Structure 1
């Protein structure tokens, strides 16, 4: 049976999990089948929990190795700066889409909600918290608390130090490479469970929320999905064509498995190995991809840190009857470009939203109004995040003349669902397909 299952394309498996999850979710809600709802929630929660376990070692080792790998890349500093520049450019365009759509649709106007029941979320973000939160009180605390932002900080410091130390640091670097390989191997096993995780996550969302809860926020939910769709299907293709002189269809053919997994898992970091392998398969040099993708997975969040907080800020302002000035819209853009690292984590964009609201002086309780539907919104946000994380290194590699155009033009012609063979993980000519 397992052999027969593996013959089914992974994208079809994901789609089947999605459809079955929706059906079971409606069955659990309409038929008031409590045990089915509990089962769906358990399956989805276990899938996310398994992703969380892998996050600390994956982030630390991937970033250490990626920083050290820059010494083997020609014009490494130039590539790094270009990567950060394009991170900012695409984030600025994305937040512009969010603001424009918010002004056009007025997602909070006419919405009737119980504002007295709105409470500030327990976890909020501010510029002070963001800056002080970069540095952990102790090394182990960052890992035990799963504080991705602090882990990124430690990894960057350790990677730069190892890069400067040179040969004496090679045992440390090799240890990180070994741990990274082990964690990624385990993640490939987890990725194969994504259709089951999809069933549980989608089923629980349908069973828990339903249309009664979504109805008052339907306009806002639609605006978020439309905004992300505009960035995915209009902005990114235009960037590929105008900046990279690339065929967008080949890009999406090669990176779709990562985008698809991001949608169902709601985890940029959990999807990171798939994203990295996908961009390598479409011609981005491995040494550069191993730097750009891990950094993108922790700081490049066009869905969570640009489109969503822009729309959410407009929504909250309208619900609470607060008028936003042109300066406020500029502040939204500034926060989105500069503060996106605050979203570093497994799922959700709550910290970024509260950071934006506090910067604008809007009630933080407004974030509480959106918490109920956050899992529904987080799916499309994360898919947009991952597409952007793959887009930037592809465009930069193309502009710098290091993209393998033949590999790019062949994107999508291989099965993308199998893990790479363990015996040759570093070979660029490895014919193994990219997982989904």
Structure 2
């Protein structure tokens, strides 16, 4: 049969060449959930395997630990340059320091408001659950911690020892053969980095044209650091797998039995603050609850598995900007400050319930004045211990202020890692909440971006075009001139 020639002018598609289909991966949220589920499964398998013959962790536990700790180490490594560069750039672009001071005041005010509500929840649940009276622990088995909190920690942590806010410590470990092994580690204090960046940013602002080359370099360096951060965040599903797997393999749930009522009280308080108090604050300020949790989810889930507010800081700052619509000029200051001073889980709920537990366990009757002291320490003490890590520091500050025995801390350390997961998640949720609320009240929140908040927004518009500089500058100028970026009236608390 002869082949027919197509009519003249008719275009016949070439079916011989088909475009290659690109492999589509699940969304970032699904990837994280898969990593979480697989991590629990592998952690359970490692738990069933048990330790090796010589008492060391088995190969699966070691692998999960290596994966999880490596991811957190990468996040912590990016914190110093990210915080420094972002704050210097934002302060220099604000044009007026007075507006930054007002925003800082509003931020601290809402830190205190939410902390006061959280500690009230903790005290109430402590009185309802009576965790110390229902515990089977022997008070004689307690021991004082190696480090305690002090009211002078704020001054000690506020003044930087060097321009980078870095410190080094050496730990000497004796060996079985009489030898000693020295290990030197470098650490950083986020609060000190914030102080240094604020001073340098203000100095650059006051210097004028002579500082323009420095600011141009700073903006370029910030773009490079944010690209590296984007690569690290993409590893979050793998990091989640390792972190939650290590937690399940190491701790299990057997340690909860003697402190069951205490643990239930802590997690009930965390749930009330996260799922009741925070939604009320959002609704009171005209913000959707579902949009907030959709946008903040990547930071909250990472905080839960990593147990580190500082390690989660880069992700928290990114979700506050990209997902929740807070201007970078404000978020780059508020989020690092919140990571060191805003801890509703570790500094409000946990010390309140724990102090009541220790008092009941040791037979100490607390008066109304003591409960007021608990509230005062929770609201102010988190700032006093800013820059210091660990909820134990805040707990020891509370106990020492009330005159309660510090030996009670040793009784709680057995299940502290299990509690710390929930505490850190609430910490980070609050660290994202306050900048969002303040931005809404000041009329600088991107309401369209907030309404469409999603975990996937974390990776959108990662590299703004060169001609977007004007738009970014206009947004920052709107903040500095008190001109609302949205159709929202400027209000004060």
| 1:288 alignment partner, SS class | helix
Aligned position for 1:93: 117
- 2-side partners of 1:15 and 1:232: how far apart? 20
Write 1 or 2 for the structure with the bigger share of helix: 1
1:328 aligns with 2:346: no
| 1:270 alignment partner, SS class | helix
Deviation at 1:423?
Answer: 5.0
Contact preservation (8 Å) 2:46, 2:61: yes
1:37 aligns with 2:79: no
Aligned position for 1:282: 324
- 2-side partners of 1:275 and 1:428: how far apart? 26
Identify which of 34, 49, 53 aligns with 1:16.
34
Aligned position for 2:258: 216
Contact preservation (8 Å) 2:136, 2:258: yes
Contact preservation (8 Å) 1:269, 1:346: no
Aligned position for 1:63: 87
Aligned position for 2:476: none
- 1-side partners of 2:310 and 2:218: how far apart? 17
Deviation at 1:230?
Answer: 1.0
Identify which of 96, 102, 108 aligns with 1:84.
108
Contact preservation (8 Å) 2:324, 2:453: yes
- 2-side partners of 1:237 and 1:380: how far apart? 17
Identify which of 395, 404, 411 aligns with 1:369.
411
Aligned position for 1:207: 249
Identify which of 34, 43, 59 aligns with 1:25.
43
The Cα offsets for residues 308-358 of structure 1, whole Å up to 9 and x where unpaired, read as 221222222222222222222222222222222356569632222222222
Deviation at 1:23?
Answer: 2.1
- 2-side partners of 1:219 and 1:203: how far apart? 25
- 2-side partners of 1:183 and 1:209: how far apart? 35
Aligned position for 1:51: 75
Contact preservation (8 Å) 2:319, 2:458: no
Range with greater deviation from structure 2 (69-78 or 286-295): 69-78
Contact preservation (8 Å) 2:82, 2:314: no
Aligned position for 2:155: 131
Q: TM-score, normalised by structure 2?
A: 0.77
The Cα offsets for residues 341-387 of structure 1, whole Å up to 9 and x where unpaired, read as 35656963222222222222222332232333222222222221222
Range with greater deviation from structure 2 (171-180 or 386-395): 171-180
- 1-side partners of 2:366 and 2:222: how far apart? 46
1:108 aligns with 2:149: no
- 2-side partners of 1:344 and 1:173: how far apart? 29
- 1-side partners of 2:470 and 2:317: how far apart? 12
Aligned residues, how many?
Answer: 425
- 2-side partners of 1:168 and 1:153: how far apart? 22
Distance change >3 Å, CA 43–CA 415, structure 1 → 2: closer
Contact preservation (8 Å) 2:191, 2:387: yes
Distance change >3 Å, CA 93–CA 24, structure 1 → 2: same
Larger Cα-atom Rg: 2
Distance change >3 Å, CA 313–CA 226, structure 1 → 2: same
Deviation at 1:127?
Answer: 0.9
| 1:145 alignment partner, SS class | strand
Deviation at 1:93?
Answer: 0.9
| 1:83 alignment partner, SS class | helix
Structure 1 stretches lacking a partner, 5+ long: 431-436
Structure 2 stretches lacking a partner, 5+ long: 1-21, 52-57, 168-185, 473-493
- 2-side partners of 1:128 and 1:291: how far apart? 24
